[in-house]
Amino acid sequence: MPLPLNRDSVLQAHELIKPHIHLTPVQTNTTLSNLASTPQSHDALKGTPWEGQDPAKPKIRLFFKCENFQRIGAFKVRGAFHAVKRLIEEQEIEEVRRKGVVTHSSGNHAQALALAAKTFSIPAHIVMPTISTPSKIAGTQAQGANIHFSGSTSQEREAVVKEIVKQTGATLVPPYDHPNILLGQGTAALELQSQAAELMATDKGLSVAEGKQGLDAVITPCGGGGLLSGTAVAMFGTGIRVFGAEPSFQGADDARRGVESGKRIETVKTLTIADGLRTPLGEVTWKIVSDNGMVRGLYSVAEEQIKSAMRLVLERMKCFVEPSAVVGLATVLYNEDFRRMVEKEAGEEGWNIGIVFSGGNTTVEAISKLFAPATEAKAERAEGVVGQDGSKMAENVAG
């Protein structure tokens, strides 16, 4: 019995889950805002669709919602707690405990549902791909969940889920494709909106332009679309534009391609480093993400751009994030289509853009492996930013 998909429902969801989530901080960073407002070099655009074109010159100020500091290290706990609490309201706690809950997830929703179930003493069955990040598997096991392994595609995961439901009668709590999940995820955007406005009211110099006191846009990562859909529902009617960001590697940008073709892509098989974004949109999230009145645009970025953005966050913000978390920032910094759109629509005034860091569930070992090929260029990278083709892009920004 899900609530209607509107902002009021997100507000209700927020009240319901407040006792179980952290109010994560919103941070700013002068270096990254200045870099976002600095045109990319012509060298950085070589080998891209924008080679030979004049770089965009948008004016941008960035506000980062740090869900990497959320419980279990990701925003997913919001949707999980909302879905479980609604389930308890509908079926009564003893009935939910008798049946248990089940889901499939590569890691963050797995840990989130395991925590929510543990909080209310509910048995949890979690189906995880064998290629899931070891730290995410360990985090899920730490919550006392029963883990079942599967193949990496959504079809393979769902087949195992069906068998578990058949054997146990457990109630499925989907990782993203359910109204109660996306309404819970949308609560992060509610907080981001108010926190950013408070920061700008306290320090007027944080805003992109004098007299502008709120966000103009929010960009989130997009995998199954729960966070993006929830953000779109939460921001609808506020005047704040919502955008989605995806990896392009091995067809991981299924949402963007699907919207362009007018048909949802139901299968994705990719080994992008943004492992939390390896799933396709579901039927519920597709309806929202494909609605241009809800989500203004979808943009994709290459693996090296994700790595470059991640390095900036780690080194300049001192903020521990996973690759999936920074695809929005990579889009703002390196996707010329997005940057030109901002330049055109915002004009000389510019935009205040909120970016959701979706999580920080990775390890030092994984990060070391991710950046191992680039260790020889460490000194150069400390002075510049790596472009799409691996070339150095002069930073020319204050710290």
Q: What is the pLDDT of residues 386-399, one digit of tens each?
A: 443 333 333 322 23
Question: What is the total residue count of the chain?
Answer: 399
Phi, psi angle pair for 294, to nearest 5°: -100, -50
Q: Which stretch of 61-65, 176-180, 243-247 has the lowest confidence by average pLDDT? A: 176-180
Q: Which residue has the higher pLDDT, 161 or 133?
A: 161
Give the model confidence (pLDDT) of 317-371 as tens digits: 999 999 999 999 999 999 999 999 999 999 999 999 999 999 998 889 989 999 9
- Confidence class of residue 158 from pLDDT cuts 50, 70 and 90? confident
* Residue 65: strand pairing partners: 26, 356
- Strand, helix or coil for residue 101: strand
- Confidence class of residue 373 from pLDDT cuts 50, 70 and 90? low
Phi-psi region of 124 (alpha: psi -120 to 50; beta: other; left: phi over 0): beta
Q: Which stretch of 180-184, 211-215, 375-379 has the lowest confidence by average pLDDT? A: 375-379
Which residues are catalytically annotated?
76, 106
Percent of the chain with pLDDT over 70: 93
Residue 5 clears pLDDT 90, i.e. is over it: yes
| pLDDT value for 138 | 87
Give CA–CA dist 206/212, Å, rounded: 10
- The segment with the largest mean pLDDT, out of 149-153, 167-171, 233-237, is 233-237
Q: Which structural domains are found in the chain, ordered by start?
A: 7-73+181-388 (3.40.50.1100), 76-178 (3.40.50.1100)
- Strand, helix or coil for residue 146: strand
| pLDDT value for 131 | 82
Which two structure tokens, joined as six digits, stand for 164? Answer: 């578990």
- Confidence class of residue 1 from pLDDT cuts 50, 70 and 90? low
Mean pLDDT along residues 107-128:
92
Phi, psi angle pair for 178, to nearest 5°: -155, 140
Give CA–CA dist 256/254, Å, rounded: 6
Q: Comparing C-alpha atoms, which of 356, 366, 361 is closest to residue 106?
A: 361
Mean pLDDT along residues 174-203:
96
Instruction: Report whether 339 contacts 58 (CB < 8 A).
Output: yes
| pLDDT value for 154 | 72
Instruction: Report whether 303 contacts 356 (CB < 8 A).
Output: no
Residue 375 clears pLDDT 60, i.e. is over it: no
Instruction: Report whether 80 contacts 116 (CB < 8 A).
Output: yes
What secondary structure, in 3-state letters, does 48-63 show?
CCCCCCCCCCCCEEEE
Give the model confidence (pLDDT) of 296-323 as tens digits: 999 999 999 999 999 999 999 999 999 9
| pLDDT value for 71 | 95
Q: DSSP letters along 304-329, please?
A: HHHHHHHHHIIIII-----GGGGHHH
- Confidence class of residue 106 from pLDDT cuts 50, 70 and 90? confident
- Confidence class of residue 248 from pLDDT cuts 50, 70 and 90? very high
| pLDDT value for 175 | 87
